[in-house]
A and B are shown apart, each in its own frame.
Chain A
Amino acid sequence: MQCQRVSTTLACFICRRNMFTSRRSYSQDEKLHKSIPAKPTWQDVDRSTLSKRGVVDDATIELLERLSLVNFNNQAGVKTLMDAVALADTLQVVDTTDVVPMDSVLEDRDLNLREDIITDGNCKEDVMRNAALTFEDYFVAPPGNIPLETKPASRYRDPDEEDQDKR
């Protein structure tokens, strides 16, 4: 679609709809890249067709908190998590048969290799500068992993929601 730079004339009024849909100005010769669709192509996904793979129950929330050390904090946090899982579930409609997964955009780059020479280290003061507690050039840590206080995830639940489930 071409849109020309217009001055404030009546023609502008007619072209206004065009201007709003593509805000950049294009010269006569430029076209959109072929991978950009001319019109939006997304469709709503019918949630009822998806299998419930990402179930977020209390045990899962507790496990996630322990593994990631992210505190979900409040009900809004848990809802965000559930929404994220639901969004990820919509990927199920994509047919990935025979498609090799891509896990890095660097997949066709050469992995840079370093020669085996000593170029680093010997900066003990710098490395230890931010440590809260040190002792004779060692970092000091508690004796083992401190177990996370397991507060039950049910504290996130809305009282109304709980009643809903019970029905």
Chain B
Amino acid sequence: MAARNVMKGKTGDWLAVIGLEIHAQIASHSKLFSGSKVKFMAPPNQLVSFFDAALPGTLPVLNKYCVEASILTALALSCRINKKSLFDRKHYFYADMPAGYQITQQRKPIASNGHLLFNVYDDVKREKPRRHRVNIKQIQLEQDSGKSLHDDEKQQTLVDLNRAGVGLMELVTEPDMSNGKEAAAFVQELQTILERIGTCNGKMAEGALRVDANISVNKPGEPHGVRTEVKNINSVRFVKNAIEYEIRRQIDVLESGGTVVMETRSLDDTGCTIPMRDKEVVQDYRFMPEPNLPPLVLYDDTTINSTICQEKAINVDTLRRRMPELPEDQRQRLTEDYGITYSNAVKLVNEEGLADLFEQLCTASSRKETKRLMNWCLIDILKCLHQRNLTVKQSPIPVEKLSDIFSSLQSGEISAKSAQKLLELLFDGDSRSVSEIMDVENLRQITSEEEVLKFCTEAVNEEPDLVEVYQSRNKKVINKLMGIVQVKSKGRIEPQLARRIMEELLERRRRR
């Protein structure tokens, strides 16, 4: 067992075993079994149909897109698609589940036996990632419950059913993780994949992706210990912290002679796990087949002709062909096709849309300075986006204009600072063409040495004290003079050129 897995306790070494249950909200327009709208943050009980409120006389009708979304997700995770899956009722009483049961797929889920390979960065510097594999036990379709707001003061719960009935994909992993970092890395890669294939927006803060962790510890060589379930994890950072806290807590309990209780725990604001209140001791869900829904049958290229209703039938192979390029495949391809490092490819792919933008700009650019372009994308463009809280898709600048800026930068027509200024202006809504802005704002580089000398001379004349310091003691004050020159020239002089001219000027002055 590799050293990274072993945790040091007072009485010796410990190993941790972690499995995850992830609920991903399907990014559909309407709910899983009814035609109500799916929307985060809407006036309470506005998006509720009679079926969602479990009023008698209503029946479930399955949403085709929700099925397609689970199939796409299952294919992206290399799962086996079950051509026939079944729906069941899971019974328990809670105010935010008006029917008294949840429709889920307990006996035969839509997909099973998949896996995910992802990168784990064990060292702080994040230079060399390690590949880790987690097997996926199954993926099933199920209904979400409504939302409960607890008012402890008035001793009541306010229930909003907007979320009741929204489609969820429940992903159950095998217990293949051994620390918080691996679990967090898994969730992060899953988020990226789901966002890429468009089946879930992955926003944990909005509750679109909810992670429950099952954690146990044991001494090396001994069987798995008693496990606890930690719910309410709503960020990738908390996935790591909550798991690490719980592992430590269990080790402490066992080392002081106690036993770990099999229970459900919740996460508080400080990252500590606390026992969850109001969980009945005996929980029997009384699973039964959902009597209102026949089995869900899926087809592929070989069987699609056997069904009478071909337009309504779902063909798994058609969906397989529709699959976009997955993040890891894109990372590998970027390193191969463009010669950039893997860690830079990771950064490009992490920001949804940035890698595509990079590729488009590469194609448009005549000179193949891929590394420079990559840095421009990762640093300059990304900074502008983040400052304005925009995603790449929301960027107001068309690709052609970005390409114009970059080619001017490449040719030396403008300096890096001017390029930055151009970006800022365009991001803020300036709709003029790039060359027009360059003309009007006087952004083109000053390349004539005479002109540069003029600015340098001005600076030197204004600051005789600095010149004195430079000549006698400290060469570093040249940077201050450079600063003045840049301000005077509005950043239009290429730094190396300015520095050379300045040094020559100061040398001439010294010799006088």
State the A residues within 8 Å of B (CB). Answer: 63, 66-69, 103-104, 106-124, 126-128, 135-145
CA–CA, A108 and B6, complex, Å: 53
List 22 contacting pairs A-B, 8 Å CB cutoff, sorted by A.
A63-B284, A67-B91, A104-B291, A106-B293, A110-B294, A111-B295, A111-B297, A113-B67, A113-B314, A114-B35, A114-B62, A115-B65, A116-B30, A116-B64, A120-B35, A121-B34, A121-B46, A124-B43, A135-B156, A139-B161, A141-B148, A142-B95
Given the contacts A137-B43, A144-B277, A104 and B294 also touching, CB distance less than 8 Å: yes
B 124-150 binary contact with A (CB < 8 Å = 1; else 0) = 000000000000000000000000111
- Indicate if the CB atoms of A135 and B158 lie closer than 8 Å: yes
- Indicate if the CB atoms of B95 and A139 lie closer than 8 Å: yes
**B425: A residues at CB distance < 8 A:** none
Query: Which one of B12-20, B48-56, B357-365 contacts A?
Result: B48-56
Closest to B65 in A: A116
- Indicate if the CB atoms of B47 and A137 lie closer than 8 Å: no
- Among B47, B67, B156, the residue within 8 A (CB) of A140 is B156
- Indicate if the CB atoms of A107 and B294 lie closer than 8 Å: yes
Closest to A141 in B: B95
State the B residues within 8 Å of A (CB). Answer: 28-30, 34-37, 43-53, 55, 61-67, 86, 91, 93-95, 148-152, 155-161, 277-278, 280, 282, 284, 286, 289, 291, 293-297, 307-309, 312, 314
Within the complex, the shortest CB–CB distance from A84 to chain B, in Å, comes to: 16
- Among A115, A137, A144, the residue within 8 A (CB) of B157 is A144
Given the contacts A127-B50, A138-B44, A141-B159, A111 and B293 also touching, CB distance less than 8 Å: yes
Within the complex, the shortest CB–CB distance from A40 to chain B, in Å, comes to: 30
Within the complex, the shortest CB–CB distance from B292 to chain A, in Å, comes to: 8
**A103: B residues at CB distance < 8 A:** 86, 289
- Indicate if the CB atoms of A119 and B158 lie closer than 8 Å: no
CA–CA, A66 and B293, complex, Å: 28
Given the contacts A112-B61, A143-B157, A118 and B45 also touching, CB distance less than 8 Å: no
**A111: B residues at CB distance < 8 A:** 62, 293-297
- Indicate if the CB atoms of B48 and A124 lie closer than 8 Å: yes
Closest to B96 in A: A141
Within the complex, the shortest CB–CB distance from B402 to chain A, in Å, comes to: 35
**A117: B residues at CB distance < 8 A:** 29-30, 35
Given the contacts A63-B284, A138-B158, A120 and B63 also touching, CB distance less than 8 Å: no
- Indicate if the CB atoms of A137 and B296 lie closer than 8 Å: no
Within the complex, the shortest CB–CB distance from A110 to chain B, in Å, comes to: 6
Closest to A114 in B: B61
**B94: A residues at CB distance < 8 A:** 145
Closest to B288 in A: A103
Given the contacts A110-B309, A113-B63, A141-B156, A120 and B291 also touching, CB distance less than 8 Å: no
- Indicate if the CB atoms of A113 and B35 lie closer than 8 Å: no
- Indicate if the CB atoms of B48 and A123 lie closer than 8 Å: yes
Q: Which of A69, A122, A127 has the most C-beta atoms of chain B within 10 angstroms of its own C-beta? A: A127
**B156: A residues at CB distance < 8 A:** 135, 140-143
- Indicate if the CB atoms of A121 and B36 lie closer than 8 Å: yes
**B50: A residues at CB distance < 8 A:** 120, 123, 126-127
- Indicate if the CB atoms of A141 and B66 lie closer than 8 Å: no
Within the complex, the shortest CB–CB distance from A74 to chain B, in Å, comes to: 24
Closest to B86 in A: A103
CA–CA, A120 and B162, complex, Å: 12
**B149: A residues at CB distance < 8 A:** 138
- Indicate if the CB atoms of A128 and B95 lie closer than 8 Å: no
CA–CA, A125 and B308, complex, Å: 42
- Among A114, A124, A139, A145, the residue within 8 A (CB) of B159 is A139
Known: A110-B307, A124-B48, A127-B50. 10 other contacts (CB 8 A): A69-B93, A104-B291, A106-B291, A107-B294, A112-B62, A117-B29, A121-B49, A138-B160, A141-B148, A143-B150
- Among A107, A128, A136, the residue within 8 A (CB) of B295 is A107
Within the complex, the shortest CB–CB distance from B156 to chain A, in Å, comes to: 5
CA–CA, A111 and B296, complex, Å: 6
Within the complex, the shortest CB–CB distance from B136 to chain A, in Å, comes to: 24
CA–CA, A75 and B63, complex, Å: 47
Closest to A138 in B: B158
Within the complex, the shortest CB–CB distance from B76 to chain A, in Å, comes to: 20
- Indicate if the CB atoms of A121 and B64 lie closer than 8 Å: no
Closest to A140 in B: B156
**B158: A residues at CB distance < 8 A:** 135-136, 138-141
- Indicate if the CB atoms of B297 and A145 lie closer than 8 Å: no
- Among A106, A119, A144, the residue within 8 A (CB) of B30 is A119
CA–CA, A113 and B167, complex, Å: 14
**A144: B residues at CB distance < 8 A:** 157, 277-278
Given the contacts A128-B45, A139-B95, A118 and B294 also touching, CB distance less than 8 Å: no
CA–CA, A143 and B295, complex, Å: 38
- Indicate if the CB atoms of A114 and B63 lie closer than 8 Å: yes
Closest to B286 in A: A67
Given the contacts A137-B45, A142-B156, A116 and B284 also touching, CB distance less than 8 Å: no
**A140: B residues at CB distance < 8 A:** 156-159
**A115: B residues at CB distance < 8 A:** 64-65
**B66: A residues at CB distance < 8 A:** 116
- Indicate if the CB atoms of A122 and B159 lie closer than 8 Å: no
- Indicate if the CB atoms of B37 and A143 lie closer than 8 Å: no
- Among B48, B63, B280, the residue within 8 A (CB) of A116 is B63
